Structure 1
Amino acid sequence: MKIFSPLYQRAMQWARHRRAPWFLGGLSFAESSFFPIPPDVMLAPMSLANPRRALWFALITTLASVAGGLLGYVIGSYAFEMIEPWLRASRYWSSYSTAVEWFHEWGFWAVFVAGFSPIPYKVFTIAAGALSMALIPFTLASLVGRGLRFFMVAGLMAWGGQRMEVMLQRYIDRLGWATVIAVVAGIVLYRA
């Protein structure tokens, strides 16, 4: 059953849209402070569709992500009491608690590692503000950590280029179903 092929085709069309860099910047900004979808879902296909501009896309993603991270920092600094009840009731509370532990243990390095951790970056930005982390180290750690992640994603996609796009197009349905099976198996094993 070919469900993933049409989705892949649509994603590649959107990746080539003339306004895609603006959407990428908006998504990157929003994800760093309040939105649940990571920018990699746009950055990867955009870099794959246009390898010559991959580093430009990574730069847009990094700068917009850090700007959104600064908004998350402000939310943590000035509005944490307002969002704390929601945060406690959400699935993000355990991630927030982990981020706070990491800040107490590693300080500056917690933000740097956040760029690669499975814990959403927005949790770290809000925690940094709530814990009153110094703004300049927070910004520098965000630039380096997020930048490394996004330039790595863009670079790998650009390196794969047209060959990878063709190969993905050929095997996308198999990869998609394998991912679904792996997720279902993971959930079953987790609950067992």
Structure 2
Amino acid sequence: MIQSILDFLKDFGVWGLFIHSFIDAIIFPIPAFFLQVSLSLLDPSSALWLATVGFIACLLGTPFGYLIGKLLGKSLLYKILKKKWVDKATEMFNKNGEAAILIGAFTPIPFKVFTILSGCLNFPLWRLMAYAALGRAIKFYAIGILFYVYGRAAEGMVGKVSLYVFLIGVPLILIGLWVRKKIRNRRQPAEAGASQQHDISAD
């Protein structure tokens, strides 16, 4: 049935990818990556346009996934996705929600797990959108650039490039978040000291 839906969406070309990417952020169990690759293979010259359409549609769908999480909680995830995916994503989210969203853009875990979990766990929507934009842009445009540059020959490179993006992107994300955390921790004592000094002066 899922393959039939994919074939149906493929017949609509770029609009099919738009629909797939939109519902990929909400409930559809198959990542839009597969349709993006299929359509890019048919017409490599449109690969960057397809990446842009998929990226925009995913961002538009993200708030809807978030709203579902707010209203229905994790019970829906257990019904539509593998329990191990949901449990792994929840563990990642509890440790560091920001890293979970960014890394989730590269992992096999469907992205809608993270949009729905964000709603379940009251993660700020604006931060979800910001981190989703960064992570999904890398994933969509890595494929788009690959097909645009190498044409149909890129089909055999997709797996390796996706792996390299994961191996390089995830460590960079973690390092960036670690540096950001260190800077934030240094600022807090300074701000607290400034606040105390202000109170003393006021007295």
Equivalent residue number for residue 179 of structure 2: none
Instruction: Give 1:164 shift.
Output: 5.1
Secondary structure in structure 2 of the residue aligned to 1:78:
helix
Alignment of 1:23-172 (within 5 A): 23-80=16-73, 84=75, 86-88=76-78, 91-163=81-153
Residues 49, 161 of structure 1: 8 Å contact kept: no
CA gap of 1:23–1:133, structure 2 versus 1, over 3 A, is same
Given that 1:115 and 1:121 are in contact with CA atoms closer than 8 Å, whether structure 2 keeps it comes out as yes
Provide the TM-score with structure 1 as the length reference: 0.69
Question: Is the Cα–Cα contact under 8 Å of residues 77 and 113 in structure 2 kept in the other structure?
Answer: no
Q: 1-side partners of 2:53 and 2:80: how far apart?
A: 30
Instruction: Give the Cα separation in 2 of the matches to 1:162 and 1:67.
Output: 29
Residue 90 of structure 1 deviates from its aligned partner by: 5.4
Inter-partner Cα distance in structure 1 for 2:153 and 2:86: 40
After TM superposition, give the deviation of residue 65 of structure 1 in Å: 1.1
Aligned letter for 1:34?
I
Deviations 1:6-35 (A, max 9, x none): xxxxx7xx86x6x41111000111111111
- The alignment yields a C-alpha RMSD, in angstroms, of 2.5
Q: Distance in 1 between matches of 2:42 and 2:78?
A: 40
| SS across alignment from 1:133 | coil
C-alpha distance after superposition, 1:146-182 (max 9, x if no partner): 11001111211222214557x89xxxxxxxxxxxxxx
Bigger-Rg structure (1/2): 2
- The number of residues matched between the two structures is 151
TM-score by length of 2: 0.66
User: How many percent identity over aligned positions?
Assistant: 30
SS in structure 1 at match of 2:21: helix
Q: Structure 2 vs 1, CA of residues 144 and 79 (structure 1 numbering), >3 Å: closer, same or farther?
A: same
Q: Which residue of 1 aligns with 2:175?
A: none
Q: Distance in 2 between matches of 1:28 and 1:36?
A: 11
More relative contact order, 1 or 2 (CA 8 Å, 6+ apart) = 1
Unmatched 5+ stretches in structure 2? 1-6, 158-203
For 1:25 and 1:87, the matched residues in 2 are separated by 23
User: Contact 1:48–1:160 (CA<8 Å) still a contact in 2?
Assistant: no
Cα distance in 2 between the residues matched to 1:138 and 1:75: 14
